[in-house]
């Protein structure tokens, strides 16, 4: 069982709109960092910083494939995050809100 302090730290990360959108996108599938750069229209270092914070807390996991890093959710032991993500929009709505379309397969 996680401490209240640990839960609070995790929830603080979800208070950032970009990180919450990233996690919502990861509900449906694994994403490559290059895909996040394309849909959020922010720099790769900025995306990587968001993902590093989530990875450091164990909320996402990464897998390196060639020069690209792919991310997936890792919240099996964090039911409070799973519960929040059940209530967030799916990727189709998020991409519409970001005024973008599904990313091209840039890293395969």
* CA within 13 Å, CB half, 4: 0
Domain boundaries, the chain: 4-97
What residues contact 10, with CB distance under 8 A and at least 6 apart? 2, 57, 59, 78, 80, 81
* pLDDT bracket for residue 67 (50, 70, 90): confident
Q: Is the pLDDT of residue 106 over 80?
A: no
Distance CA 30, CA 14 (A): 18
Mean pLDDT of the residues in the chain? 93
Query: Which segments of the chain are extended strands (E)?
Result: 31-32, 60-65, 68-73
85 φ, ψ to 5°?
Answer: -65, -25
CATH architecture under which domain 4-97 falls: Orthogonal Bundle (1.10)
Selected residue with higher pLDDT from 87 and 104: 87
Q: What region does 99 belong to: left with phi over 0, alpha with psi -120 to 50, or beta?
A: left
């Amino acid at each position: 069982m996680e401490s209240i302090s640990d839960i609070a730290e995790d929830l603080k990360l979800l208070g950032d709109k970009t990180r919450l959108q990233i996690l919502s996108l990861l509900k449906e599938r694994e994403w490559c960092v290059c895909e996040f750069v394309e849909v959020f229209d922010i720099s790769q270092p900025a995306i990587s910083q968001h993902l590093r914070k989530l990875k450091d807390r164990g909320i996402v996991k990464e897998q390196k494939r060639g020069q690209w890093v792919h991310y997936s959710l890792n919240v099996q032991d964090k039911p409070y995050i799973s519960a929040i993500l059940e209530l967030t929009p799916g990727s189709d709505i998020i991409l519409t809100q970001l005024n973008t379309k599904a990313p091209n397969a840039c890293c395969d």
